[in-house]
Structure 1
Amino acid sequence: MKCIIEGKNVKVFGRAVQALSRVGDELWLDPSGKGLALRSVSSAQSAYACFIFSPLFFQQYSLGCAPKQSSETVKCKLLMKSLLPLFRCLTSIERNVERCQISVSASSDWVIIQFFCRHGITKTHNLRFQEKEALQAEFASHLCRNVLKAPARLLGDVVMHFPPFQEEITLSTTPLRLSLRNYDDSSESKMKRMFTEMSLHPDEFEYFQVDVDSTITFCLKELRGFLSFTESHCLPVSVHFDSAGKPVCFSVEDMLFEATVVLATLIEPESTDSIQPAGTQVHATSRY
């Protein structure tokens, strides 16, 4: 596989890597005819994220010649700590990098990333990878009874009001309103911490379908990275969810790329007498 990213798209690619670094410590690189997919899953499998860049996103996109079937491509897993430093300073990339070339060879275990910079400077990075089947989350968004669509800026402004150390937030919906509040299961700490809650009217959304009242709690860290990416492109974010204990999915779609993050939600105990699991997992499996 060989692809060339030109101009400002290098910064877009870097933002995706940064968003995925908030999810997991490993990144799956999955080239196919549909484009180049970047995927990551948290160690607890409570969060999964995927960015798929269309061939139109690249100046050049080629899968190369596979040894057995033309549809075969190398699917590899990289350590995030080896990839993230290359895209950490996006301002410098935008100012100095003219294009970026990424190539993967089936005959080697290296991903080669080259930055072609101003004044004829070329920076080459060789990252060792482990060949793995592509990662895929098992989530049927079309079965969700609640569907929202809102500008990324709206969701970003709401999330900004929660402190950086906030780990989880609770989203509650009825056909008449949506509210977000900080979640804390410790009654003692509630007396010491600031409680934040924000409410939104359905008119503030581009699409608002709530067929069942829901209250779900999910991690905020992974969502922050996703919203940071979508805000920079001013894209509307679709949200699919159901009841507590079932995953919630945030997604955006454009001609050049699509992005999805799936987060597990906590199961709220119905009473003090019943004991239920603290949360659920996002089922991320290898796709054969």
Structure 2
Amino acid sequence: MEFTLSGNSLKIFARSVASIARIGTEVVFESSSSQLSIHTLNSSRSAYQSIKYKPDFFDVYTIVSGAQVKCSVLLKDMCAVLRTAVSNIDHLDMRLDDPDASKVQWTLFCFSGMKKTYWITCNTEPDSQHLSLDRSKLPSSFVVRPRDLYRLLANFQSNLHEITVIATAPLLVPPDAADQIGGKAVELRSYIDPTQEIDSSLYTQLWIDPAEEFVQYTHAGNPVDVTFSVKELKAFLSFCEACEVDIHFYFDKAGEPILMVPKFGLDDGSGSNFDATLVLATMLISQLNSQYPSETPPATNSTPASQQVEDGNAAENHPSGHTRIWSDLS
């Protein structure tokens, strides 16, 4: 396998690695004649990100006919390769001469004439796990511009770990709340673990009119909510902002995964030479009926649900402060 990147494609690839590095510790490369995909899964198995590139994304993309190459490398090593500013790089070459090779070669050709070559240890038999999630089965969705989402998140504490999104049909806002929230159909709410001390925590509720803040909003029926991690959200938000694309959120209800993908204008993404997917676990317990946390909250089962990862084997539960793992996703 061999590929060469330059110009805008090199910038997007560097941003892809930076985004994935904020989620996992290892990235898996899978290449075929039709695409190259990179993906990672975090240690608690609650966040999965995948980015796929078509052959025309690259200046050169070569793979043995009919072969499928799979390997993984540590993300800290990838970040070390891309430590050189992209603006100083003319083009980047990646080469894996043998599918069973123990090292992959990365070469940077700088505008200054300097050539930097790195040999990174790789695992040719990675624990590759593919996530299967049908967005058509996630009935609620909205599209938001990165700069607008940044502005909304600025209302919350910077150290907030999880955030709750509550979606209602615009015509189903309770009459007794219409004066208070102005008929706005979406709420963003801080999630504060009720089992933890909250003396220094700021609890924020933000009501949103989708017509004003979102590019697109779809929801019908009863209100639903999803609570998920802010850290991975911000990583994907930075990636989409750098790529100058909007973010499309798909979700169902508490306990079901939330899916985020780039929104390429009016295009469905088929005309783009790359695509990305971020899937996050959501909390099992709905926050629809929760109120402002009291000073002495009762003990509550605060174990969130996670995505389900398809790996061909029954997955074990991985204890985490925020997530619980299911075995497979259908």
Give TM-score scaled by structure 2 length.
Answer: 0.78
Deviates more, 1:43-52 or 1:273-282: 273-282
Q: Secondary structure of the residue that 1:43 maps to in structure 2?
A: coil
Q: Which residue of 2 aligns with 1:206?
A: 215
Q: After TM superposition, give the deviation of residue 201 of structure 1 in Å.
A: 1.1
Deviates more, 1:106-115 or 1:160-169: 160-169
Deviates more, 1:194-203 or 1:1-10: 194-203
List per-residue Cα deviations over 1:147-203 (Å, max 9, x = no partner): 212222222322343333221111111112112122102376334222223222121
Q: Secondary structure of the residue that 2:66 maps to in structure 1?
A: coil
Asked if 1:122 is matched to 2:115, the reply is yes
Contact 2:50 2:277 in 1 (8 A): yes
Q: Which residue of 2 aligns with 1:235?
A: 245
Distance in 1, matches of 2:80 and 2:279, equals: 25
Q: After TM superposition, give the deviation of residue 273 of structure 1 in Å.
A: 11
Distance in 2, matches of 1:277 and 1:34, equals: 43
Contact 2:37 2:53 in 1 (8 A): yes
Q: After TM superposition, give the deviation of residue 73 of structure 1 in Å.
A: 1.8
Distance in 2, matches of 1:175 and 1:184, equals: 26
Contact 2:138 2:252 in 1 (8 A): yes
Q: Which residue of 1 aligns with 2:307?
A: 282
Q: After TM superposition, give the deviation of residue 223 of structure 1 in Å.
A: 1.0
Q: How is 1:66-145 mapped onto 2 (pairs within 5 angstroms)? A: 70-88=65-83, 92-94=85-87, 96-105=88-97, 106-131=99-124, 132=126, 134-145=128-139
Q: Secondary structure of the residue that 1:130 maps to in structure 2?
A: coil
CA change 1:186–1:93 in 2 (3 A) is same
Distance in 2, matches of 1:172 and 1:54, equals: 36
Distance in 2, matches of 1:170 and 1:88, equals: 35
By relative contact order (CA 8 Å, sep 6+), the higher-ranking structure is 1
List per-residue Cα deviations over 1:47-106 (Å, max 9, x = no partner): 00011122121111111x2xxxx32221111111211222246xx221x10001112231
Q: Which residue of 1 aligns with 2:327?
A: none
Distance in 2, matches of 1:36 and 1:103, equals: 13
CA change 1:200–1:88 in 2 (3 A) is farther
Q: How is 1:1-288 mapped onto 2 (pairs within 5 angstroms)? A: 1-63=1-63, 65=64, 70-88=65-83, 92-94=85-87, 96-105=88-97, 106-131=99-124, 132=126, 134-176=128-170, 177-186=185-194, 189-203=197-211, 204-211=213-220, 212-252=222-262, 254=269, 255-268=272-285, 278-286=303-311
Distance in 2, matches of 1:41 and 1:205, equals: 29
Q: What is the CA RMSD across the aligned residues, in angstroms?
A: 2.4
Q: Which runs of 5+ in 1 are unaligned?
A: none
Distance in 1, matches of 2:156 and 2:77, equals: 31
Distance in 1, matches of 2:30 and 2:122, equals: 12
Distance in 1, matches of 2:105 and 2:156, equals: 39
Q: Which residue of 1 aligns with 2:315?
A: none
List per-residue Cα deviations over 1:219-251 (Å, max 9, x = no partner): 111111111010122212111101100000010
Structure with the greater alpha carbon radius of gyration: 2
Deviates more, 1:115-124 or 1:273-282: 273-282
Contact 1:166 1:220 in 2 (8 A): yes
Q: How many positions carry a matched residue from both structures?
A: 279
Contact 2:194 2:298 in 1 (8 A): no
CA change 1:285–1:165 in 2 (3 A) is same
